[in-house]
Every structure is written in structure tokens, then in C-alpha cells.
Amino acid sequence: MSENVSLVIVSHSPDVARGTADMVRQMVGDEVRVAHCGGNPDGGLGTDVQKILKAIDEVWSPRGVAILVDLGGAETNSEMAIELLPEERRAHVVLCNSPLVEGAIMAATEASGGSSLAEVRATAEELSPR
């Protein structure tokens, strides 16, 4: 169990994505690797499949990668990114249906203890939006 599940933060806003990743590092620590991406290729608000793929690659872990997203396009573009992954990696990347910031902290805390990808996702999703 040398490696933990990693996280990818996807927001429409690069600032929100970076800030969320900073919160994870400061509140949970650096035993969970976190990549973040946000903004469309023109620099505006949005998300970009290629940036998401790059972020997944950056923190790739054989234990898996959990993706946390904010709204609409972040989800569909993340799903598209997962579909574009090499087949052997596809099953080890999941999208969490949870609020972005809260879910990221919960997922990272779970992952820091060496939990499986399914457990990390379940913990993030246990926190339902209120």
C-alpha cells in the first residue's frame, strides 16, 4: 500500500480549482497527490478535456484517481476525458458526485489512510448537497 488514490479537481474557474487543491494540501497534507485544472482553452471560464487528461496523467496512481467537479460541463468533459484514457486506466478513474470543495476534503482524508478508490468515492458522495 505504498501509494494512495490521487485526486483531480476540475472547476470552470482556474482560481477555484487551484484554491480547492490548496485547501486539500493544507488541511489534509501531501500524502495524497492532487492535480487541478480549470478554464477553457481561451482562458475564460469553462473546462477542457485535454487539461483534464493532463491532470489525470500528472497524478496517476495505480490505486486510482478520483475526479471532483463543480458544474455541468466539468462533469461531461471529465466523463469524456475518462473515455479517452487508455483502456487499462479507464477502470481506475472515477467521477465523484459531490460538492467540489467539501467532497475534495472528504475524499482526500479518506484517501490519506490508504482506502480504495471505491471507498474514496463513497466517502465523498456520503456528503450529499444540502
Binding residues for another protein, per CB under 8 A? Answer: 27-29, 105-106, 109-110, 112-115, 123, 126-127
- Dist CA 125 CA 7 (whole Å): 14
Q: How far is the CB of 45 from another protein (least distance, A)?
A: 27
Decide whether 97 or 112 has the Cβ nearer to another protein.
Answer: 112
Q: How far is the CB of 108 from another protein (least distance, A)?
A: 8
69: which residues sit within 8 A by CB, 6+ positions away? 10, 11, 47, 75, 78, 95, 96, 100
Decide whether 47 or 109 has the Cβ nearer to another protein.
Answer: 109
Q: How far is the CB of 25 from another protein (least distance, A)?
A: 12
Decide whether 52 or 106 has the Cβ nearer to another protein.
Answer: 106
Q: Kindly report the CA angle at 117 between 4 and 57, in degrees rounded to 5?
A: 65
Here the cell at position 121 is 468515492
